[in-house]
Amino acid sequence: MYDSGKIIPGLIIFVLFITIPIWYNRGGASTAPKIELPKDAKTCVLPAAEIRAEHMKLLNVWRDEVLRDGKRAAITIEGKQYPKSLMLTCMKCHTSKKQFCDKCHTYASVEPYCWDCHLAPVE
């Protein structure tokens, strides 16, 4: 290795450059946002922990069933019927997009495409 004087410092600089995000954040995450939950609704389509983790999958399944398969029948959970709809189910209780959707999506650095088709609720 005739160029070891250039290769070793180059590798060190490369490793430092690649690990900048780790050193910059030092493993700390900011606190999760406090979201405003609906006051009149006691239950959701799924339990709270499950809906937080899986709501995007549920909405995609509903979209596919309704738009692609034509299955518009409401789902029944614990004796209560829910239409397969973002606006008629989710936004019926969670009326403020800014206070509910945007806080968590901003925290998670996610840009959902829901509002490409749906009209955002009037604040």
Q: Exposed, middle or buried, 92 (CB in 10 Å: 0-12/13-18/19+)?
A: middle
Residue 78 has which token pair?
């614990």
Distance between CA 59 and CA 86 in Å, rounded? 7
Q: What is the pLDDT of residues 25-63, one digit of tens each?
A: 776 677 888 887 788 877 888 888 898 899 999 999 999
Burial 29-39 (b: 16+ CB within 10 A, else e): eeeeeeeeeee
pLDDT (mean) for 74-93 = 88
Count of Cβ atoms closer than 10 Å to residue 17 Cβ? 8
> What is the pLDDT at residue 13?
94
